Amino acid sequence: MDEYEKAITGGADPAPRFLVDIAGMCSGARWVPSPHHDLRPDDAGVELLVIHNISLPPGEFGGPHIEELFLGRLHPGAHPYFAGIAALRVSAHFLVRRDGEVVQFVPCELRAWHAGVSSWQGREKCNDFSVGIELEGTDDLAYEDAQYESLAALARALSGRYGPLAATGHSDIAPVRKTDPGPAFDWARFRREAGGALR
C-alpha cells in the first residue's frame, strides 16, 4: 500500500477485489452461465487450481468466441479453425481476459469440463477436485500484468473459501495432450503475488 492509499483508507487494507460465496460464485466476476458442467462427486472438494490458456481463433484476442465455445454456441463457419471444435462440450470455471476482466462460467461448487483425461499426484479425473482458470493467451506470448493481478486476486478469493490450494498447469496434468499455459507463464510471479493462497 503506497502513501496515497494509506491516506485515503486510513491505513486499512482495501476490500478484496473478489469474494467466493458458499455456492462457489465469485463477486467481482462477470457471470456468463455455461451449460457444460455437472456435479462433483460427493467426496470431492476443491483442492487444485488448473491454469490453462486459450485464444480463438488461435493467437487472436478480444473477440466473443471463447465465450461462445463455453456456451456451446460457437459457429463452425465463423472461422476455418472452428469447424473442428464447435461441437466440443467444454468449459472452465473462469476466464481471465487480456485486460484483467474475470468471467465466471460455472460455480466452483460444480464440476466444469476443462481438464479432460488427466492425473495429478496419482489422482485421475482432475475435473472432480479442481477449479479451471483459462488465461486469454498463447504458450509463447507474455501474459499481461493485469492478468497476473486478477489471477492472484482470484486465487486469494478461492483460498478464502476453500483454504490454501495447490496450483498446476494443464500441461502438467495432461502432458501428452496439452502444453498450456506454456513457457510464457511466469509461475514464480504468480506464486509470489498469490502469497499464502497457494500451498
Do 111 and 128 touch, CB atoms closer than 8 A? yes
Distance CA 134, CA 148 (A): 12
The per-residue pLDDT of the chain, averaged, comes to: 94
Q: Which of 47, 109, 134, 144 is catalytic?
A: 134
Q: Any residues with CB less than 8 A from the CB of 164 and at least 6 apart, and which?
A: 196, 197, 198, 199
Alpha carbons 75 and 109: distance in angstroms, whole number: 29
pLDDT band at 15 (very low <50, low <70, confident <90, very high): confident
For strands 37-39 and 30-31, give the pairing.
unpaired
- Which residue in this structure is represented by grid cell 486465487? 155
Residue for grid cell 509470489: 192
Distance CA 171, CA 1 (A): 35
d(CA 101, CA 97): 5
DSSP assignment of 20-82: E-TTS-EETSEE---S-EEEPPTT----EEEEEEE-SSTT--SSSHHHHHHHT---TTSSGGG
Cβ–Cβ under 8 Å, residues 25 and 31: yes
Residue 9: the pLDDT is 46
Q: What is the pLDDT of residue 14?
A: 76
In this prediction, residue 6 has a pLDDT band, given cuts at 50, 70 and 90, of very low
Confidence of residue 89 (pLDDT cuts 50, 70, 90): very high
pLDDT confidence band for 5 (50 / 70 / 90): very low
pLDDT reported for residue 4: 39
What domains can be seen in the chain, in order of their start residue?
29-63+92-197 (3.40.80.10)
Q: How far is CA 122 from CA 3, 73, 100, 126, 187, in A?
A: 48, 35, 33, 10, 22
* Cβ count within 10 A of residue 72: 15
Rg (CA), the chain: 17
Q: Is 121 helix (H, G, I), strand (E, B) or coil?
A: coil
Strands 26-27 and 19-20: antiparallel
Active site annotation includes 134: yes
pLDDT per position as a tens digit, 30-88? 999 999 999 999 999 999 999 999 999 999 999 999 999 999 999 999 999 999 999 99
pLDDT reading at 123 higher than 80: yes
